[in-house]
Amino acid sequence: MLVRLLYVSRAVDKDCTQAIESILESSRQHNLGNGITGVLCYGGGVFLQAIEGGRSAVNTLYNHIVADKRHSDVVLLHYEEIAERRFGGWTMGTVNLSKLNTSIVLKYSERPEFDPYAVSGKVSLALLEELMATASIIGRA
């Protein structure tokens, strides 16, 4: 059974460039062999990540993420059983939230800076869908 999970967290290190590189490297190595796909968005010290795959693999990965010392304030935004993957082309695609077009952000947010803590999981997922449709996600596997 496939599931999709969406969470938000804060980077412990405000200059999270090194953490992002580390997360992406370990994600891409781990995810391919475990049937996990998804996208990692980052910016302003915040991570927004969607992960898809088998229920057991996704749940195990999420528990690992919650315990990961590179994150704090981990909040589960959305969890659902799915018939098909939306981010199946990426072992872990990336989006820099601070470089998004303001008009796209304002479509889903009260302010020109996207804050996943201030919107519903469905809104965050809708933004990810639009980013995918506009080819804003990089790192296709």
| Per-10-residue mean pLDDT, the chain, length 141 | 95 72 74 86 85 96 91 94 87 72 86 88 89 64 45
For residue 80, CA distances in Å to 53, 64, 121 come to 11, 19, 11
pTM of the model: 0.84
The two beta strands, 37-43 and 46-54, are antiparallel
Which tokens is 130 given? 């639009």
